[in-house]
Amino acid sequence: MGTGTDRGRDGAGSGEEGTGIAVGADLLDFRSGKFHGDVVAKKVEHHYHHIPGTLALQALPSPARGFVGRDRELRTLLNALDPAEPDRGAVLVSSVTGLGGVGKTALALQAAHTAQRRGFFPAGAVFLDLHGYDDVPVAPEQALEQLLLALGVPRDHMPTSADARAGLYRSVLAEVAEKQGALLVVVDNASHSSQVRPLLPGHPRHRVLVTSRDVLAQLGAQLLRLGVLSPEHSVEALKTALAAADPTDARIARNLDQARRLSGLCGYLPLALHIAAALLVNDPGKPVKELADELADTATRIDYLDDGERAMRAAFDMSYRRLGDGSARLFRLIALAPGPEAGPEALAALGGVPPDPRTLDVLVRAHLIETGSSRGRWRMHDLVRAYGVFRTREDAASSAEGHAARARLLSRYQQRVADSHPYLQTLPEQPRSGGFTDREEALRWLDTEREGLVAASQWAVDPQHAETGVRFALGLSHYLAWRRHFDDAAEVYHHAAKGARLIGDRRFEGMAYDNLGMALRYLRRGDEAIAAHRHALDLFRAIGAVREEGTARYNLGNALLEARRFDEALDAFQEADVLLRASGAVRTAAMTQNGLGVLRFRMGHFDEALTHLDAARAAYRSLGDTIMEAISTNNRARVLRSLGQLDASLREHTRCVAFFQSLGQIERAASAGNDLALTLHAMGRAAEAIEQHTEAVDSLRQQREQYREAMVLNDLGNTLRSAGRHRDAVDCHERALSLLRDVFFDTYGQARSLDLYAAAVLATGDTEEAARAWRESVALYRRAGADDDARAVTRRSTALGVRTEVIGSEAGDA
């Protein structure tokens, strides 16, 4: 134990004369003295002995119940705490950092208890909560007092100053290290390094484990940045919490889909998950879906996550209150950024000026933001964002600032999207703005900002931003079509339609519905696409917009064509052609000729198809629209193949593939490549055809163009069968059938896949399976209204000696 001494200096004389010089209050220096006679100096020592008090060295709080999903992090901490760690001559400090509510304390306690069970710390473990984010955090002298009391030092034997207490603390711990061994000091909720530094032992045998929302870089600690739980572990945490309260509570196990949804709405944040679990425990009759529905609204989610004892808002308040005015403002503005992350351009627009890097660093250290997909881009946890949005609405001034920030960003996005339009047109070169230097740069910016741009489209339904928001959302059509992001397009046009209705602009509403119909058609949601185009037609007719009505009729024709409603599609295309020619819309009229050509081809009228496609190609060529010229050329080459003009078909398909590849239009290049393979197959060049088909399948899979992938898989299977590779053909048709059955629910596509599958299976010698597949194919063709195809299957299978008659109600029930 440490000992304090005050010493008088020994002195002796032998008759020399002298005087003593005072040094300090009770110290005399006799070195220059002269003494006459005997002189005796008395040494006085004062010893302050430590009077043992009550030791509290096994005082860890209990570990959290239902601790899940932190195996890797726990191993990392235990490796750091292991006394076998080489002695570096200094105390090893480990720091667990992360967002409020992410489970730092739970992990630290789990690690501490596990280390104790393994015998890492024979002297014990002490725990201290510094309340670093409370209004009144624990001061260093108070923290040292608590630790000294735990070490058995009575209160009345403690020095008063923080420095003296720190010295005594280190002295006591040195004695503990020598007599009892290593001690673990767990310091929870530290807000800055100066809170922790006085608590570090001097003896390297001991270990310190710190938790903080901030990165305490000045400590030189081993950092463990703690993130949210995985989706699977989040569901497990909910299930464990409910089972702890009532082992018979099976709501999570019975509703796994809703439990996953609830976990996602909690942002996989442990505190939010525990609050959600408590809300379910408090109301045993509450369905998981009901709680998830309550949390679905981001505007109120923070309020709902409150179980009466714990609240997400209170947890985030602690971090927010420590921010300065500039950091707090930037935090609120970043929360308004659309999409999962924001780059420097978005932050500059939101704030009016580029953000100060030092202010960003404050938010990073507090774990209120984190690095996004690349350096300079920032993201927020969903619940932190919801809290930040709440802060932007807490008073009139903050609300006004938020609206102004959104207006600036929306204006910036609208300008940048408009700058990209000349590079994404199929028409000849147009005057370029100063926004981008070429198509590659424009697409790179759009791809980087895509999620934010799509998310910003929802501002079209905000009355404060509706007019600009609608124009912006409709302006995204060029990019979304170029990159074929049809899921995003459907979301954007839904918002545009609602916003246009809000401001009473029927022309914009009609454009939004027409664009929505095209997106839905590419998503193979045919009935919805047809309904959207018909609604657009009604809106355009009501305001006398002839050109827009003609365009909508053309798009309706395409949707009807995809639905195999050929007669209705023919009417739509012909009516569109009349309206578009009357309005002088030459380019769109050429598109109608292309549509009529594809329709006639699908109906088997090849000469008529060629006439329409020749007219379309000539019109596009005169307009200089090279992309649409290539599209009509590729369609024309398909007709030439059906007419037996294989060399011409091969040349035109080959040129189209090269052209689309040069533009980076991967999906169109793959489709043209598959057409090229079909022509090669027709020419008897099966090996080359299989290679082309396979390249097309791979490209479409990478682009997640699953519907077209299924179509090409069927074509590949057909070619493989003709090449004698029957088992490979069966596999292709099974994969196509799976996509069309499980992803798109395409009845006609399933029927065709089964038809081709049956032929491939028959080639392997399995007559029974072929008959079964053909029977199912006939039933599905009939359900799809394709009676001619059903009869053709029956004739073909019968000719091959396979009975496929469907009797009774089998066709209707299949």
Q: What is the pLDDT of residues 195-207, one digit of tens each?
A: 999 999 989 889 9
Residues 375 and 343: their CA atoms lie apart, in Å, by 9
Q: What are phi and psi of 14, to 5 degrees?
A: -135, 55
Question: How distant is the alpha carbon of residue 221 from its chain centre?
Answer: 31
Residues 711 and 720: their CA atoms lie apart, in Å, by 14
- H or E segment at 88? none
- pLDDT band for 17, please (50, 70, 90 cuts): very low
Task: Give one DSSP letter per residue of 97-131, joined into a string.
Answer: E-STTSSHHHHHHHHHHHHHHTTS-TTEEEEEE--
- pLDDT band for 47, please (50, 70, 90 cuts): very low
Closest by CA position to 690, among listed 389, 698, 438:
698
Over residues 226-234, mean pLDDT: 94
Burial of 374 (0-12, 13-18, 19+ CB in 10 A): exposed
Task: Give one DSSP letter per residue of 761-775, joined into a string.
Answer: HHHTT-HHHHHHHHH
Residues 138 and 144: their CA atoms lie apart, in Å, by 10
Residues 395 and 406: their CA atoms lie apart, in Å, by 17
Residues 71 and 130: their CA atoms lie apart, in Å, by 26
State the pLDDT at residue 83. Answer: 82
Residues 149 and 52: their CA atoms lie apart, in Å, by 10
Return the bridge partners of 207, or none.
92, 184
Percent of the chain with pLDDT over 90: 71
Determine the Cα angle at 171 with ends 170 and 173, to 5°: 65
Q: Which three-class secondary structure state does DSSP give residue 379?
A: strand
Residues 104 and 113: their CA atoms lie apart, in Å, by 14
- H or E segment at 39? strand 38-40
Between 84-93, 395-404, 565-574, the lowest mean confidence (pLDDT) is in 84-93
Q: What's the pTM value of the predicted model, to 2 decimals? A: 0.78
Lookup result for tokens 């246009």: 500
Say which residues have a Cβ less than 8 Å from residue 568's Cβ, sequence separation at least 6. Answer: 560
Cβ atoms within 10 Å of 523's Cβ, excluding its own: 16
Position 419: which residue type? D
Return the bridge partners of 278, or none.
none
pLDDT tens for each residue of 435-491: 898 889 999 999 999 999 999 999 999 999 999 999 999 999 999 999 989 999 999
Asked if 653 contacts 676 with a C-beta cutoff of 8 angstroms, the reply is yes
Q: Is the pLDDT of residue 342 over 50?
A: yes
pLDDT tens for each residue of 624-647: 899 999 999 999 999 999 999 999
pLDDT tens for each residue of 518-567: 999 999 999 999 999 999 999 999 999 999 999 999 999 999 999 999 99
Over residues 20-45, mean pLDDT: 48
